[in-house]
Structure formats: structure tokens, C-alpha cells
Amino acid sequence: MDKLLITGGGSLSGEIRISGSKNAALPIMAATLLADTPVHLFNLPHLNDITTMLALLRCMGVGITITERMTVEIDISTMTEYEAPYDLVRTMRASILVLGPMLARFGKADVSFPGGCAIGSRPVDIHLKGLEAMGATIEVDGGYIRARAPEGLKGAHIFMDVVTVGGTENLLMAATLAKGKTVLENAAREPEIVDLANFLVAMGAKIEGIGSDRLTVYGVERLEGCSYSVMPDRIETGTYLVAAAATRGRIRLRDTQANILDAVLMKLEEAGAHITSGDDWIELDMKGQRPKAVSLKTAPYPAFPTDMQSQFTAMNAVAEGTGTVVETIFENRLIQVHELNRMGADITLEGNTCIIRGVERLKAAPVMASDLRASASLVIAGLVADGDTLVDRIYHIDRGYECIEEKIQALGGTIRRVVEG
Ligand SMILES: CC(=O)N[C@H]1[C@@H](OP(=O)(O)OP(=O)(O)OC[C@H]2O[C@@H](n3ccc(=O)[nH]c3=O)[C@H](O)[C@@H]2O)O[C@H](CO)[C@@H](O)[C@@H]1O
Ligand SMILES: C=C(OP(=O)(O)O)C(=O)O
């Protein structure tokens, strides 16, 4: 199993490119199941989750052609299977996103239940209730969601009682081909949902209220393929900015956008970072200063993203002062705290809150990654620790960070992949 070996101490400085967004690319790839003609996608990140989604589409008979620089043509005209099997779904929760489009387009879909994962229980009840409101019959059998709508889906007025990113995406995709009008109330507003909606519109969907918490969709007869470039990854962007802040560095990130990161940039400024940005770049400069601890509470967009919480926890661990971090989206997303404490951090965990008293420096230790963003926090901790930190179970990090060691090396960090067995 691969590990990352990080020698801490230096400040990050330099310039790197930000990749396409994992969390926008995955629903967009699922949405290609709605198209009558081939779709061309640009700026897909080179990540294990993207490979898994391609494998899932391929195992259903979908034609996939990959050209250089991860430009992918997806052609569903050859599709023969309507089942997303357990072996693929269990490795990536976003596989559930094929349910809505497959049901809307073909009237049937068998999708393995995605399991719980390290960050919390993650049910899909709102996805299923919404599809039932649109006329689908759903049975759970042998660990599979078996959804049927032989006459097609019909528009409905749906109120989602929890703000859910995946639920909004599944129902939005399903509604594009449903008969009549669908209204999704209490919809999630994450930039990745806006990107998905823009992609659906590029294929011919009729959607009003994009970017708001009320999406109105007028179902159309068919959607046509198009060419589309996936938005930049705001979580990858935020992760490198926090790594630079923690190491008192100065970095410039290109091919990204500041306006999708407002809550994160505000917290970085509060931590003492000087931030400047243009249309497609962001620069952060700590002017050699130690960051100041910040307090934050995660909540749906436009509030502070849960996917950035563990990185800020790592920065706070070496910041001046005390910060409080409250996680409100997932019940078990503060477990990185135990690994950070093993590296000399001073963090107290009380339920969904952690209180972080900053220390001057951390001390290297062998640590274990428990999920994707927790892994990123351990890499940041390794960069500010004295000595060599070995991060185990980095298959989590490979789900979400393209070429992480090359990018950190380009910023002057000392990191390398240790390949074992
Ligand atoms: C691939 C992708 O885009 N993943 C993101 C997506 O995950 P994902 O779409 O799985 O997260 P959700 O927004 O659905 O989850 C938010 C909350 O709603 C709850 N819930 C969700 C669905 C449901 O049917 N019932 C229910 O109770 C969940 O348990 C959780 O407490 O949004 C999360 C919240 O921003 C991010 O951390 C993930 O990185
Ligand atoms: C939790 C995440 O991803 P997923 O929903 O795919 O597990 C993430 O990107 O931080």
C-alpha cells in the first residue's frame, strides 16, 4: 500500500495549476447518461474517483474514448446494462448519482446501496423519496435499490428536508427528462450544482433558479450531447491555500476562481493571509508570519464547507491562539484530531466540536489517513512538523488530489510517495 513521506520545516512558495473539480466532474459524468448523442468533457481531473466513474459507465456498456489530457468522449448509444454493481459503488459513494439519470432516461435502474463511510452514516432517503414523488417505484432488495418508471418520470413539487448536494443533483438530473414541471425546494446551492445545471442546460435542459435554493425544471423530450469543460476544484484550491498559510508561505494558484471560495478566503484573511486574485488565479502571502487561529462552523454553501474543515483544523494546530471548529454536516468528521494530537497538537474533542490550542511546531510521527480530507490535513501537519511524517492509507488522498506530491514538490515541499509491496 502506498504511503507519503513528508519532511516538514520549509515554507511553501511558487505557482501550481488547479485541476478540474472532482465533485463537479462526477455528477456531470453521471448526467451523460441522459444524452442521446456523444458528450465531450474537458478538464476532468486525473483521479481514482474519475477512473471509478468511467469504469462504472463502461461496465454498463457505455462507450468511453479518452484522448490526451483527459478529454473524454462518452457515448451511451452502446449501453446494454442498467445496473451499478456493488464492487464499484462501494468504493465511491458518488456512484449513486447514476440512479436519477438512468431511471429518467431508460425507466429502470438497479444501483447498489452505497455503504456508510468513515465520515458518517450518509443515507440516501431524500434521493429515493424524491424519485418516488416523481412516480418511480423503488424496492430495496439484496443491497440494491431497484427503481422502475416504465411510463417515464413525471414532474413533482419536492421539498427536501435536509440540504443535500447529492440528493439535489440526482433529482435535478431526473427532472430534466420528466414529463412536466418539477420544483426542488430547499435545494443545495454548491458551485458544483451550478456547474452540473449549466452542463444540463448546454445539453438542452430547461432549468430556472440555478444557484438558488429553489430549482424549477421543465422536462424536455430529449437531451443532446455537447462539449463542456468542468469547473476548477475549489476544495483542492482551498487545501493548497491552507497548506501555504500553515507553512507561512507565499503561493499562486492558476486555473481557479476566487468567487467560489468566499467563506474559505475570509477565514484565511482572518488568519493573517494577504490574498489577491484575478479572473483565473489566486495568490496568498503570509509574509513569513505564523497564522492566527480561527473559529469556524461548517454548513451548506455559501457557508464554510465541511470539505475544508480538517485542513483548517491542521492549520489551527500550529496557529497563534485558540480556535474552535464545529462540524455540523457529518457526525464523524473530526477523527483526524487524534492523529494530529499524536503529532503534538493540543486539541480537545467534545462531540461535534474541537477546541484547538495552537502550538509552535508539531513533531513528525507515523499517521493513518481515515478519509479524503482528513488525509489532506495530515499532509499539512507533516509539512509543519519537525522530522519525517509517514502518512499511511493514502488511497483516500488519491481519490481527490491529482498528483499531490508533484504539486507540493513544485511549491518547494519535501514529499515523496513510498510504494510498498
Ligand atoms: C461527491 C460529492 O459531491 N461529495 C460531496 C457531497 O456529498 P453528499 O452529496 O454525499 O453529501 P450530502 O450533501 O448529501 O450530505 C449532507 C447531509 O445530508 C444528509 N443526507 C443526505 C442525503 C439524504 O438522502 N439524506 C440525508 O440525511 C447526510 O447524511 C449529511 O448529513 O456533499 C458533501 C457536503 O457538502 C461533501 O462533503 C462531499 O464532498
Ligand atoms: C467527502 C468527499 O467525497 P465523497 O462524497 O465522494 O466521499 C470529499 O470530496 O471530501
**Number of the ligand 2 atom closest to the C-alpha atom of 49:** 6
Question: Which member of 117, 226, 354, 403 is catalytic?
Answer: 117
**Number of the ligand 1 atom closest to the C-alpha atom of 301:** 35
Q: What is the pLDDT of residue 421?
A: 67
What spacing in Å lies between the alpha carbon of 179 and ligand 2's midpoint?
32
Which run of H or of E encompasses 140? Answer: strand 137-141
* Residue-level pLDDT, tens digit, the chain, 421 residues: 899 999 999 999 999 999 999 999 999 999 999 999 999 999 999 999 999 999 999 999 999 999 877 799 999 999 999 999 999 998 899 999 999 999 999 999 999 988 656 788 889 999 999 999 999 999 999 999 999 999 999 999 999 999 999 999 999 999 999 999 999 999 999 999 999 999 999 999 999 999 999 999 999 999 999 999 999 999 999 999 999 999 999 999 999 999 999 999 999 999 999 999 999 999 999 999 999 999 999 999 999 999 999 999 999 999 999 999 999 999 999 989 999 999 999 999 999 999 999 999 999 999 998 899 999 999 999 999 999 999 999 989 999 999 999 999 999 999 999 997 6
Q: What is the pLDDT of residue 70?
A: 72
Q: 39-42 and 13-17 as β-strands: parallel, antiparallel, unpaired?
A: unpaired
**Number of the ligand 2 atom closest to the C-alpha atom of 371:** 1
Q: Is 117 tagged catalytic?
A: yes
Grid coordinates given for 17: 495549476
What spacing in Å lies between the alpha carbon of 94 and ligand 2's midpoint?
8
Strand-pairing partners, residue 120, are 117
Grid coordinates given for 78: 452502446
The amino acid that residue 9 corresponds to is G
Q: What is the pLDDT of residue 47?
A: 94
Q: What is the pLDDT of residue 116?
A: 59
Q: State whether the beta carbon of 301 lies less than 6 angstroms from ligand 1.
A: no
Q: State whether the beta carbon of 126 lies less than 6 angstroms from ligand 1.
A: yes
The pTM is what?
Answer: 0.98
* Spatial distance between the Cα atoms of 162 and 148, rounded to a whole number of angstroms: 25
Q: 83-84 and 144-148 as β-strands: parallel, antiparallel, unpaired?
A: unpaired
Which run of H or of E encompasses 113? Answer: none
> What SS3 state is found at 289?
coil
Q: State whether the beta carbon of 331 lies less than 6 angstroms from ligand 1.
A: no
> What SS3 state is found at 318?
coil
Ligand that lies nearest to the alpha carbon of residue 164, given by its number in the listed order = 1
* Helices 234-246 and 262-270, axial angle in degrees (round to 10): 10
Q: State whether the beta carbon of 306 lies less than 6 angstroms from ligand 1.
A: yes
Q: What is the pLDDT of residue 117?
A: 65
